[in-house]
Structure 1
Amino acid sequence: MTQRAELATVLDRLTVDELITEYAGAVDDGDWTAYRRLFTAEGRADYRSAGGIEGDAAQVAGWLAESLALFDMRQHLIVNRRVRFGLLDHDTGDTARVRADYLNPMRFTSDGGPAAPDLVCGGRYDFGLLRTREGWRLSEVVVHEKWRRLPERSPADLRD
């Protein structure tokens, strides 16, 4: 690879990483307009392993908006990102795959005071990306939830 190609790959890697971070921020902030803008026109997301739906970005954004309204605190931590670019004749291509683990603590809507998360889940994301005229966009997001911890029940809850 030439230095120019290596620099292009580094720049693509940084841009792809930023897109994944923007994805987490859009979900955590409930910015569904920004969420939809991260996808290609045909982009799809699959949240079925986490009890959700599979569909185009607009459908999934609507489902997320409704489902996550229960939580006033959301924090998607997306870590251990493995980025692989498609190859065309030994040059960096216009596709990428990202596999990344996630940890997601959330707190149910409350009085607004600080409190520990009520629900914590973790798993892995598989992202498919495509370079478009507007830059890198998500063509596919698949959630593989591996575990979930729900609120612990107090002894008083068990008596009822």
Structure 2
Amino acid sequence: MTQRVELATVRDRLAVDGLVTEYAVAVDDGDWEAYRGLFTAKGRADYRSAGGIEGSAGEVAGWLAEHLEGFPVRQHLIVNRRVRFGVREQDTGDTAQVQADYVSPMGRTGQDGGPAAPDFVCGGRYAFAVLRTDDGWRLSEVVVREKWRSLPGPWTAPVVN
């Protein structure tokens, strides 16, 4: 591999990683216009495993805006990002798949109007399909695979018979 090709790959990897970070920030900040702008024109998202919907980026942004309104305190962490370029059939170097784990604590505003402890925490794995466009790398698909969730209240051991 030439140094020029390696530099282009590093640049693409940083751009794709930045796209995933912008996704998390848009969701946490409730910036639904920015969220929509991260997707291709035909981009889709699937939140069904987390109790949500599947649809276009615009439809899902509307659903998220409505359902996350009750949790103004959000800090979405996306880690263990595995980026694979050119995994789609007939790829010319313009697609990528990203698998990444997430932890998403959410809370209501505290009684004094300030931050509150999380009321709800969930975790799982994202599958991002990414496409290079004239406007840079964009999401063509996001699939959320929620693996666990924790609700407030004391933990009780499961009953074993």
When normalised by structure 1's length, the TM-score is 0.90
Matched, 1:5 2:2: no
Report Cα offsets for 1:41-98 as digits up to 9, x if no partner: 000000000000000000000000000000110011000000000069xx97000000
More strand by share: 1
Gaps of 5+ in 2: 155-161
1:93 is paired with a residue of what secondary structure?
Answer: coil
Shift of 1:100: 0.2
Matched, 1:146 2:147: yes
Q: Which residue of 2 aligns with 1:157?
A: none
Q: Write out aligned runs for 1:88-127 (5 A).
A: 93-111=93-111, 112-127=113-128
1:45 is paired with a residue of what secondary structure?
Answer: strand
User: What CA RMSD, in Å, does the superposition of the two structures yield over aligned residues?
Assistant: 1.8
Quick one: distance in 1 between partners of 2:138 and 2:115? 35
2:6 is paired with a residue of what secondary structure?
Answer: helix
Q: Percent identity?
A: 75
Answer yes or no: is the 8 Å Cα contact 1:99–1:127 preserved in 2: yes
When normalised by structure 2's length, the TM-score is 0.90
Pick closer, same or farther for the CA change 1:13–1:115 going to 2, 3 Å: same
For these two proteins, the number of residue pairs brought into alignment is 152
Shift of 1:108: 2.0
